[in-house]
Amino acid sequence: MANNTRGTHDTFAVFAESDGYDKPLIMMGLTFARLMDDIIVPYESKQPFFIDGAPVTREKIRKLKILRQSVRTRDLAYDFHHSLRSADISRQKMLGEQYYIRLEAILRESAEDVTSQIIRAYDTAIRPQLKDYLPKREELITMAMQVFIEGVKLLGSSHP
């Protein structure tokens, strides 16, 4: 997983609930650029996209949360997945049955909800030039990342 220092090395998680799926849809370890390309741009453009391998549309999503992962998020997720692979069979079964509850708990405990800051960065840096998104992708993502970082600084984030 990427180094979680501030800036372009941050990684993000997406937690969503969508019509047609009885379990939450969770993706972790997304770079800022991948978050923009795979989730935010299609979501805001009302185009279909995938979360956790599931095809979704903005209209079907009941809840969408973008979280900035911390080093602790990575460590807790690693420990949890390690237990899923290496614990005794009865513990593996129990952890598997509680997978989504436990993963959500890890995210709630160790990741910072930055949904509004991400959408604000998109609205400020990308939306006004959306028609030029592909030719100017790197420039627009860099601008959006700068807007995001400044927005989080203004809030006094204590995220490591």
The model's confidence at residue 157, banded by pLDDT at 50, 70 and 90, is low
**Cα–Cα distance between 1 and 74 in angstroms, integer?**
8
Whether pLDDT at 43 is above 70: yes
What pLDDT is attached to residue 4? 37
Whether pLDDT at 6 is above 50: no
Q: Mean pLDDT across the stretch 44-58?
A: 97
Say which residues have a Cβ less than 8 Å from residue 42's Cβ, sequence separation at least 6: 48, 49
In a 3-state reduction of DSSP, which class is residue 50? Answer: strand
In a 3-state reduction of DSSP, which class is residue 155? Answer: helix
- 144, exposed or middle or buried, with CB in 10 Å at 0-12, 13-18, 19+? buried
What pLDDT is attached to residue 2? 38
Whether pLDDT at 39 is above 60: yes
What pLDDT is attached to residue 123? 95
Which amino acid makes up residue 28? M
Q: For 81-136, write each residue's pLDDT tens digit.
A: 999 999 999 999 999 999 999 999 999 999 999 999 999 999 999 999 988 888 99
Q: For 146-155, write each residue's pLDDT tens digit.
A: 999 998 888 7
Please check whether residue 2 is in contact with residue 68, taking contact to mean a CB–CB distance below 8 angstroms. no
**Cα–Cα distance between 139 and 133 in angstroms, integer?**
9
Please give the full DSSP string across 57-72, using - where no structure is assigned. Answer: -TTTEEEEEEEE--HH
